[in-house]
Amino acid sequence: MSVSPFSVQAVRSLFPALNQTVFGKQLIYFDNGATSQKPQVVLDTLAKYYALENANIHRGVHYLSQQATTAYEAARKQIQQYIGAGAPEEIIFTKGTTDSINLVAFSFGERLNAGDEILISAMEHHSNIVPWQLLCERKGCVLKVIPITKKGELDLEAFDKLLNERTKLLAITHISNTLGTINPVKELISKAHLFGAKVLLDGAQSIQHLSIDVKDLDCDFYTFSGHKVFGPTGIGVLYGKAALLDSMPPYQGGGDMIAKVTFERSTYNTLPLKFEAGTPHIAGAIGLGSAISFLQSIDMEAAAKHEHDLTTYAQGILDTFEGLQLIGEAKNKTSVVSFIIDGMHPFDIGTLLDKQGIAVRTGHHCTQPLMDFYQIPGTVRASFAFYNTREEIDTFITALQRSMQILGA
Ligand code: PMP
């Protein structure tokens, strides 16, 4: 199944969820930053797994268990190759980005000491703030925050000043879920490495929109969620450099993560299983493998161009609206258009759009400190995927104008 060269209509036809009405209107799904829809091939893979292939992995001698183990490990290999990791052992299956970051905060964090500094940015998702706060409480580490400009770009001069030999980890989002800003992560990584700091990239938003090569980026950790990249919920990935993961203690104890257990002490399995205690989300991993195969059938360069076109098109029109303020105007941004309108609560706008069949997200988008920075309660956020169209944006604009009339603009 190949849909190259890129054709929006051909891609759309592969997503059953896009072909439905909501409140009697054709659904327009602009909430891809929260989660993406699933292509039929992923749904089929999940159904087939549960119908015919279901078995627990790694421990069974029987046919089905071996089949399931092979499929699970094949998905790991596929993800390794897709993001350019050096070996399958560097791919740890987790529940998602949040789980991956918590794993690092706990396990990498075990080696940190009071006074060690962790550097994040002002545009982080709560998932890349709170785990570090918990670590700071546990270990006496210090959390430092790179400020941003009003346009929603990192203040790189401030970054240079914040980096020092106490910085043990830079944990930063690759793309902001609220602003769409694409951070200059390669530059940040090489600078952080000069001080011996490790770097974790929150890839929750970048995996869907950019081609990722962790070796080229030279990040130490990269995290993402399956559900934002056309795969199932409840499955995600932590990539880590093998030597670093090897040096870290296990995160959770249980089956599969051990080499030998006695009541006196236990020894641990090798990578990656050391970090995969208990029965994992087998169907999820296989489903994610299927989502990655799907992505590999797409001309990602053309898809990214199309998404960029959607973003600039929507932004260009919204920019002309009186009383509307775009939040997030970075030069290098993708697929997210966040805005507020004078005198109107984002929630009211979102509710009126919903009644017209249009799914957007409203609120703080799990970035409350960012909302505090802009001194706003939240935004309306339209976030696009490559299956969205300019025609959908036109309909959205008309619906937004109608909503503004109703709300008395
Ligand atoms: N980081 C970013 C930038 C995100 O957009 C999200 C999801 N909105 C997360 C982290 C958390 O992802 P998940 O809820 O899938 O763990």
The residue count of the chain comes to 409
By CB atoms closer than 10 A (0-12, 13-18, 19+), residue 283 is buried
Helix (H) / strand (E) containing 346: helix 346-355
Question: What does the mean pLDDT of the chain come to?
Answer: 97
Q: Is position 141 annotated as part of the catalytic site?
A: no
Residue 322, φ and ψ in degrees, nearest 5: -70, 135
Is the Cβ–Cβ distance between 236 and 96 less than 8 Å?
Answer: yes
Output the CA angle 99-103-109, nearest 5 degrees: 145
Whether residue 102 has its Cβ less than 6 Å from ligand 1:
no
Q: What is the mean pLDDT of residues 241-260?
A: 97
Helix (H) or strand (E) holding 353: helix 346-355
Q: Are 79 and 288 in contact (CB under 8 A)?
A: yes
User: How far does the chain reach from its first CA to its final CA, in angstroms?
Assistant: 48
Please give the pLDDT value at position 278: 97
Burial of 350 (0-12, 13-18, 19+ CB in 10 A): buried
**Residue 64 CA, ligand 1 centroid: distance in Å:** 34
What are the beta bridge partners of residue 118? 143, 169
Per-residue pLDDT, averaged over 248-265, amounts to: 97
Residue 403 has pLDDT above 70, yes or no: yes
C-alpha 137 – ligand 1 centre gap (Å): 23
d(C-alpha 326, C-alpha 307), whole Å: 18
Tokens 């793309």 belong to residue: 175
Contact indicator for 120, 129 with CB cutoff of 8 Å: yes
Would you state the structure tokens that stand for residue 324, as one six-digit string? Answer: 């509307």
278 CB contacts (<8 Å, ≥6 apart)? 252, 254, 255, 256
Q: Which of 95, 128, 177 to mutate to test the pocket of ligand 1 (most atoms within 8 A of CB)?
A: 177
Strands (E), 160-230: 167-173, 198-202, 221-225
CATH architecture observed for domain 44-296:
3-Layer(aba) Sandwich (3.40)
178 lines ligand 1 (CB under 6 A): no
The percent of residues above 70 in pLDDT, for the chain, comes to 99
- Intrachain domains 8-30+299-406 and 44-296 with the same fold: no
- Rounded to an integer, what distance in angstroms lies between the CA atom of residue 292 and that of residue 329? 30
Does the pLDDT of residue 306 top 70, yes or no? yes
pLDDT at 7: 94
In 218-360, the DSSP E strands lie at 221-225, 236-240, 258-261, 266-268, 324-327, 336-341, 358-359
DSSP state letters, 256-278: TSEEEE-SS-EEEPPTTGGG--S
**pLDDT of res. 5:** 67
Q: H-type helices in 200-239, by residue range?
A: 206-209, 214-217
In the chain, the amino acid numbered 316 is G
Distance CA 282, CA 76 (A): 11
**Distances in whole angstroms, Cα of residue 144 to Cα of each of 74, 136, 196, 345:** 39, 11, 17, 32
| Secondary structure letter of residue 182 according to DSSP | B
Q: What is the CA radius of gyration of the chain?
A: 22
pLDDT surpassing 60 at residue 2 = no
Q: Where are the domains of the chain?
A: 8-30+299-406, 44-296
Atom of ligand 1 nearest to the CA of 177: 5
The whole-number pLDDT of residue 44 equals 98
Distance, in Å, from the CA atom of 298 to the CA atom of 311, rounded to the nearest integer, reads 19
Question: Which residue out of 366, 367, 368, 383 has the highest number of ligand 1 atoms within 8 Å of its CB and is therefore the one to mutate?
Answer: 366
**Does residue 318 carry a pLDDT above 70?**
yes
For residue 123, give both structure tokens. 């545009």
With 70 as the cut, is the pLDDT of residue 4 above it? Answer: no
Cα(226) to centroid(ligand 1), Å: 11
CATH superfamily of 8-30+299-406: Aspartate Aminotransferase, domain 1 (3.90.1150.10)
Helices (H) and strands (E) in the chain, counts: 15, 17
Evaluate if pTM is beyond 0.95: yes
Pocket of ligand 1 contains residue 168 by CB under 6 Å? no
Instruction: Yes or no: say if 310 and 390 are a contact pair by the CB < 8 Å rule.
Output: yes
- Confidence check: pLDDT of 344 > 60: yes
Instruction: List, for residues 96-146, the tens digit of each pLDDT value.
Output: 999 999 999 999 999 999 999 999 999 999 999 999 999 999 999 999 999
